[in-house]
Structure 1
Amino acid sequence: MSLMRMNHVRSEIKKLADVIKKLIKNYDVDFMEYDESCLSVESSFVDRKNAAQANQDYDLLYEINKEEREFTDLQKNLKSLGQFQNELMLVKHVALMESMIVNLFWCLTKMLQHSNYEKEYFSEEVNFSDSFKAASKINELTKGVMNLKKYKFWCLYETLKTIRNVVAHGDPLFVITYRRVEKFNSKINLIQLSSEKNECVHTKNMCPSKLHPTYDSKSKWYCCLKSDLHGLVQLNEMCLEFVEDVRSSYISYGKSNGMSTHEIYGCLPVNSQRR
């Protein structure tokens, strides 16, 4: 049922596009309201702090600073919410891509009656979910016709998997190279550079980050996802394009190898209907 799975994934990604639009609209409205209220009191905080300092009333100054921090907490909460929503959406998109790739490997294994792979990867005792290995096996089974690792989306998918593997376990920080961040953000603007990782074997335990980053292309960086949700639009579009490319290649491969529509859609063994 590989084509069925691809159609399902395509439908889910299109649904997520509408969800993303709604998230962005609500997020932008919340920030607009905050900015308007912030502008109305920002100068007041400055004037009150200056007056307290001039009168050397440090107790009052402390209370004003405390009040200001509480007021700006709303902005911090909004940014945290945005980052969290980016994490959730990224994990969801990667899960859909991953399931589609693994399911395609399973379907080709069944269609081509490759009993060794069926036993090794898809027996009841095995919970196979390695999309990288699945992509390699798809390339092998189709004799290079469907080499997913040659698709332009694949390098983005590798980065998405790196991020997913970290944030899905509750850690907002992940480590990747500066060059990789720049390449990824040029297509999907979601990664926020935090600090350059100190690679010195003698001092990295004392100072894990460099005080003066080099921005060298090979330098490694601690990163997190941005709070801006607009990169999700790019993520969704790139994932949908990948699904369409894989789907088209799969249909073309099936037809060129004499497979019927039922075999392509329902994942029946190639020779089962011809005996």
Structure 2
Amino acid sequence: MRMNHVRSEINNLAGVVKKLVENYDVDFMEYDERYRSVESSFVNRKNSAQANQDFDLMYGINKEEREFTDPQKNLKSLAQFQNELMLVKHVALIESMIVNLFWCLTKMLQHSKYEMEYFSEEMNFSDSFEAASKINELTNGMMRLKKYKFWYLYETMKTIRNVVAHGDPLFVMTHRRVEKFNSKIDLIQLSSEKNECVYTKSMYPSKIHPTYDSKSKWYCCLKSDLRGLVQLNEMCLEFVEDVRSSYISYGGSNDMSTHEIYGCLSIHSQRR
């Protein structure tokens, strides 16, 4: 996907994210106020039923209470799902941009070996990590994407994407990586520390008493708070702008024509 289109798509997603957050806040506040208005009544009724050991009544009260609490739980589940979808979408856009940039450079520099190896009709090349390495090579180190501050975040996002895109909400990550990622994009929720004991891990996959050691591995999921999407969108857009600026600088310093430079930003890859 061409770089200008990726930039436009991520810009458009910023408006979507803003609306998602606004709607979530309004709905959650409504459900929260609705429950708080009757919360004390449920507490008193349950205390009375408990004192009288009326368990049938207790069951009925709990069932009635869930009518007030379930909408909040469902809303949180929906928010987590939206976080998954938006992360997958952003990763796909960045991935496509990197691979297409590699294709463009291969074409412009007439690198027939790479064109045959990666972009022949039989190939469906999509490895953005490999593409980034080749971009660095083709530009003689002027576009070292893996040295950008965003790359660490992108590696983490790719790990998450590869799991949640296949329907599994849980992924494994070190505590240190989660903390570092969340300091920039607050999206990951620690669930439980993974049991690394070779004797009991199959029986007890999680540790009862977590260590919180920086190297400890954790089962994680994405949070049910949508505000992290704002940071995700901003960081992705910043990366696209940085790559675009670096590419234009590279083209200008290597005597590429304006048509060549801006053509790569605008055209679709012709790969099959």
TM-score (norm 2): 0.95
**Residue 183 of structure 2: aligned partner:** 186
Q: CA deviation at 1:51?
A: 1.4
1:84-111 superposed Cα distances (whole Å, 9 cap, x missing partner): 0100100010000000000000000000
1:126-180 superposed Cα distances (whole Å, 9 cap, x missing partner): 1100000000000011111100000010000000000000001110000010000
1:207-254 superposed Cα distances (whole Å, 9 cap, x missing partner): 000000000000000000000000001001100100000000000000
Which of the numbers 58, 62, 66 marks the counterpart of 1:65? 62
Query: How do 1:214-253 residues align onto structure 2 when only pairs under 5 Å count?
Result: 214-253=211-250
Query: How do 1:53-132 residues align onto structure 2 when only pairs under 5 Å count?
Result: 53-132=50-129
Identity of aligned pairs, percent?
86
SS at match of 2:53: coil
Q: Distance in 2 between matches of 1:61 and 1:266?
A: 70
AA aligned to 1:38 is Y
Unmatched tracts of structure 2, length 5 or more = 266-272
SS at match of 2:191: strand
Q: CA deviation at 1:193?
A: 0.2
1:53-72 superposed Cα distances (whole Å, 9 cap, x missing partner): 22222211111122223431
1:159-207 superposed Cα distances (whole Å, 9 cap, x missing partner): 0000000001110000010000000000000000000000111100000
SS at match of 1:39: helix
SS at match of 2:159: helix
**Residue 211 of structure 1: aligned partner:** 208
AA aligned to 2:37 is S
**Residue 251 of structure 2: aligned partner:** 254
**Residue 271 of structure 1: aligned partner:** none
> Residue 42 and residue 267 in structure 1: after superposition, are their counterparts in 2 closer, same or farther (change >3 A)?
closer
1:158 aligns with 2:155: yes
**Residue 269 of structure 2: aligned partner:** none
Q: Distance in 2 between matches of 1:55 and 1:120?
A: 78
Q: How many residues align?
A: 265
Q: Distance in 2 between matches of 1:217 and 1:102?
A: 33
1:17 aligns with 2:21: no
SS at match of 1:221: strand
Q: Distance in 1 between matches of 2:33 and 2:144?
A: 52
Contact 1:110 1:267 in 2 (8 A): no
Q: Distance in 2 between matches of 1:262 and 1:77?
A: 52
Q: Distance in 2 between matches of 1:53 and 1:209?
A: 34
AA aligned to 1:63 is G
Q: Supply the RMSD in Å over aligned alpha carbons.
A: 1.2
1:105-126 superposed Cα distances (whole Å, 9 cap, x missing partner): 0000000000111011111111
Q: CA deviation at 1:267?
A: 4.3
Would you identify which runs of 4 or more consecutive aligned residues in structure 1 move more than 3 Å? none
**Residue 51 of structure 1: aligned partner:** 48
Q: Distance in 2 between matches of 1:166 and 1:136?
A: 24
Q: Distance in 2 between matches of 1:7 and 1:24?
A: 26
1:40 aligns with 2:43: no
